[in-house]
Structure 1
Amino acid sequence: MTLKSHISGWSLFFLAAFSPGVHLQRHGSSSQPSSDSELPSEAQISRPVLQPSEAPPSTGTYLLNDRVGKPCIRATMGAEYIVTEKKKTWYFNLDPSSVKTGGNCDKETAVLSLTLPNQAASLQFTFRKENNFIYVTNVTAHVSPQPVCQGCANKTYSGVITHKKLFTAANSQSFKCKSGKLLLMSSELKIRLVPLQMQAFSVPNRDYGPKMECWADFNKRAIPIILGAVAVGLVVIALLTFQFIKDRRRPGYDRI
């Protein structure tokens, strides 16, 4: 090393020691201070994007086994999150391909949990068996979407329904509702399940048993039949009335 290079090295050392903002680096390596962009942040976590318009949700089928590997819950549904923010309505549909299924099954209680990665959204049903009937007693849900407006803070919308008897079906039967169900979770969050079919505790051959139809489906099927029967009845009454009046007006014979 020459005297000139030695003096230059010491000059650089003193410059770095007494001058703020100057950092020494070794040749062949880079030692830069880490920036905020290199650290994990909420922006890098996948968050649902709320939509201003409604679209039919994709239908998924979710199967949960008990501790011995026997199917204990089967559910088929499309799930739509309806969020109210600043007097506007926003929508988010649960993507079945991204859902992780979890839960547990006991003798009289069973839980089905549907969760997106990073807990971005969840939907949980608690089933209860009582006498010969099975129903959902608790429903919990949450969604943590991207802010719906510029400058809005990150927010989680959540809600819970407890101590209810929802989607009731007899033991070994399934509850089915093509018309769908709307659940009021909180003042800011609603969940629409459409279509919906579920069965708990007994899922023979990993399939549904006989179905118990919801009132909305029954009305859609029965009302046209009832209206048709009423229309036919009115037509028959009209024909009989016309025939009766015609017979009364027919001329007869006078007795001599």
Structure 2
Amino acid sequence: MTQIRSVHSWCLGVTLQLVLAALLHQGFATVAPPTTAAPHKDPGRPDRGNYHVASTNGTACLLASMGLQLNVTFSSISQNKTLVEVVNLQPNLTKSSGSCDKESASLKLTADGDKTNLTFFFTLNTTSNKYYLSEVSLSATWPDMKAPFSTRNNSLDYLQGTLGHSYMCREEQTLDVTQELSINTFQLQVQPFGLKGGQFGAAEECQLDEDDMLIPIIVGAALAGLVLIVLLAYLIGRKRSHAGYQTI
């Protein structure tokens, strides 16, 4: 019986270590580190919007569904210091436009009556048939800004997908664009190339989603292994117990 308790304790310890390792793995699986500056306000989780770009024949050539949250660092007039403004793009107040070519595509989102202009540029590598978000630009004229805001980065490598497939990331992820701009995405699905019938292709999920699915699998496997080992230890202990009462 002492041996059974020892095996049970060892199994429980291994299970806890596996669960802890899985949780730590998820904790470190982030796209980009959070900004160090304190936000001016927290608007909560943004609503998910559906955006598209049409080709010259009127069919959709780019589709995007996502909630977007902008983290913008600018000089404030009212407080006379640098602030981080956290702003949610509201789908009902946002218009989409853009263009589609063989190797490049763009999605421009215009919000608040042209006070906010956010543009995503995608590039397709025709050799590997892989696409990615290569550039993001933002221009904004918000009431508390000392001067119109403008920033751009054309050397990005986010949201990688395969031609004919969509890129999906249900988990919140942060895209660092410049020191003045980062973007939080929520429930994102995008496809800038290879659309058929104006519909998303099969989704390729991001690493964050895969990690989120991995944790219950690891925990379930660990618990199943624990039950199996305890059962085996019980059967072995019972067999030895019966052997001790045999007549000599």
TM-score by length of 2: 0.73
1:186-221 alpha-carbon deviations (Å, 9 max, x no partner): 223221111211001222222211000011111112
1:117 Cα deviation from its structure 2 partner: 5.1
Query: Could you tell me which amino acid in structure 2 is paired with residue 72 of structure 1?
Result: C
Unaligned ranges ≥5, structure 2: 1-38, 75-80
Structure 1 residue aligned with 2:246: 253
C-alpha distance in structure 2 between counterparts of 1:158 and 1:243, whole Å: 71
Question: Is 2:75 the counterpart of 1:67?
Answer: no
Contact kept? 1:123, 1:140, Cα under 8 Å: yes
Correspondences of 1:1-256 after superposition (within 5 Å): 52-84=41-73, 86=81, 89-116=84-111, 119-130=114-125, 131-147=128-144, 154-250=146-242, 251-253=244-246, 255=248
Q: How many residues of Structure 1 are paired with residues of Structure 2 in the alignment?
A: 201
C-alpha distance in structure 1 between counterparts of 2:44 and 2:52, whole Å: 25
Over the matched positions of the two proteins, sequence identity in percent amounts to: 29
C-alpha distance in structure 2 between counterparts of 1:83 and 1:91, whole Å: 7
C-alpha distance in structure 2 between counterparts of 1:107 and 1:182, whole Å: 28
Unaligned ranges ≥5, structure 1: 1-49, 148-152
1:161 Cα deviation from its structure 2 partner: 3.1
Query: Could you tell me which amino acid in structure 1 is paired with residue 162 of structure 2?
Result: A
1:107 Cα deviation from its structure 2 partner: 1.0
Q: Which has the higher contact order (CA 8 A, sep 6+)?
A: 2
1:118 Cα deviation from its structure 2 partner: 5.1
1:164 Cα deviation from its structure 2 partner: 2.9
Contact kept? 2:109, 2:117, Cα under 8 Å: yes
Structure 2 residue aligned with 1:43: none
C-alpha distance in structure 2 between counterparts of 1:157 and 1:224, whole Å: 44
1:154 Cα deviation from its structure 2 partner: 2.4
Contact kept? 1:179, 1:216, Cα under 8 Å: yes
1:246 Cα deviation from its structure 2 partner: 2.1
1:87 Cα deviation from its structure 2 partner: 6.6
C-alpha distance in structure 2 between counterparts of 1:191 and 1:138, whole Å: 13
Bigger mean CA deviation after superposition, 108-117 or 190-199: 108-117
Q: 1:247/1:142 Cα in 2 relative to 1: closer, same or farther (>3 Å)?
A: farther
